[in-house]
Amino acid sequence: MKNGLALLALVCAIALSASGAYGTSYTFSSVDGTTKSANADLNDLAHGYYYGWSIANPVANSLGAELSRGATIQSATLVFNNIWNWDAREKDQLNSFLLSAAPPVPGKSEVVPLVIDGIPQGKTAYTYTKTTVTTTKKTNYTGIAPAAPTGYVFTSATQSGKKWTYQYTKTTTSTTSNATGIAPAGYTLAGSKFIPTMVTLGSGIKLSDNLWERSDQENKTDINWGVESFRIQDINGDPANPWDDPAGGSSTDFDLIYELNEQSLNYLFEYALDGEFGIGIDPDCHYYNDGVYFTVVTADAPIPEPSTMLLFGAGLAALFLVRRKQKV
């Protein structure tokens, strides 16, 4: 019996070795998408702009379908080909972010609420009301109430001898609002409403500096397009200090390569499942380049091939014969 088990183990080992995992490589370039006229260099990543790279195309759909079938992401790299800073200055840096959904297609703008570090930006308008009651009177000796003045309603009538006095009232409500939350004299708070700050987003849409923070907090994006975001691990291994080019001024044939770490890969897996995700790039200077590329390599669990199944069946048959011989 032991000899039979050993034989089966050997056959299983052969079967597993014959059914190796396979992987697929998906490469996206910065001209992918529905708009082929987009510049491969992403407008040379000009300072003062925030770039949203939309990765939502048939290739991304294929990646999402493979991940949905049980594949895993083995590695992912973001490459800036031949990148260099036009003029090195203090605090220059290049920031990259994974986005859970694709930002607007290049060339198509979209108006969305502004979000900074996950906090919606805007102001709260407080509404206050004040009620004012005014009265007017009319008198006669007929005992018949005269018509009410415009805007007034009859409220009462009193008699003094043969004289009748008729009282009419008008109620008015005035409304005012402010952003302080403090009611003006005579007013009471009636309600409040948050009014978000809206911003136009799109590839190369310039955003003024006062719309974002420059601190670049770890794992946060300055403007996250209204979707979840995650900071890509920087090439220097320190997400709090993004890459810069201390030399500047001329090309040095340097390729900046972001190797996504395990945490980033987990986020990429989650984001890419639906076949649509994005990359945000915030250049805090002007970075010339010859193209941006993002490569994702997947790995599938081992799947037995027909020949492998035959080997496994042969192992079972051999075990059956061994056990039969022992019984004889």
pLDDT at 234: 74
Residue ranges, the chain, pLDDT below 50? 2, 5-20, 33-38, 106, 203-224
* Residue at a domain's end among 149, 175, 194: 194
Q: Are residues 204 and 77 in the same domain?
A: yes
pLDDT at 306: 56
Q: Are residues 228 and 177 in the same domain?
A: no
pLDDT at 198: 81
Please give the residue range of the domain that contains residue 88: 21-121+197-299
Taking a C-beta distance cutoff of 8 angstroms, is the pair 273, 68 a contact?
yes
pLDDT at 148: 95
Tell whether 134 is covered by a domain.
Answer: yes
Distance between CA 282 and CA 201 in Å, rounded?
13
| 272-302 confidence digits (pLDDT tens) | 999 988 888 878 888 998 888 999 999 986 5
Tell whether 327 is covered by a domain.
Answer: no
**Virtual CA dihedral for 36, 42, 44, 50, nearest 10 degrees?**
150
For the whole model, what pTM was predicted? 0.57
Q: Are residues 108 and 136 in the same domain?
A: no
Taking a C-beta distance cutoff of 8 angstroms, is the pair 318, 100 a contact?
no
Q: Are residues 201 and 174 in the same domain?
A: no
| 174-200 confidence digits (pLDDT tens) | 999 998 999 999 999 999 999 998 866
Cα–chain center distance at 259: 21
Could you say which DSSP state residue 254 is in? -
Closest alpha carbon to 232 in 66, 94, 90: 94
pLDDT at 327: 54
Q: Are residues 112 and 143 in the same domain?
A: no
Total domains in the chain come to 2
pLDDT at 321: 57
Q: Are residues 175 and 252 in the same domain?
A: no
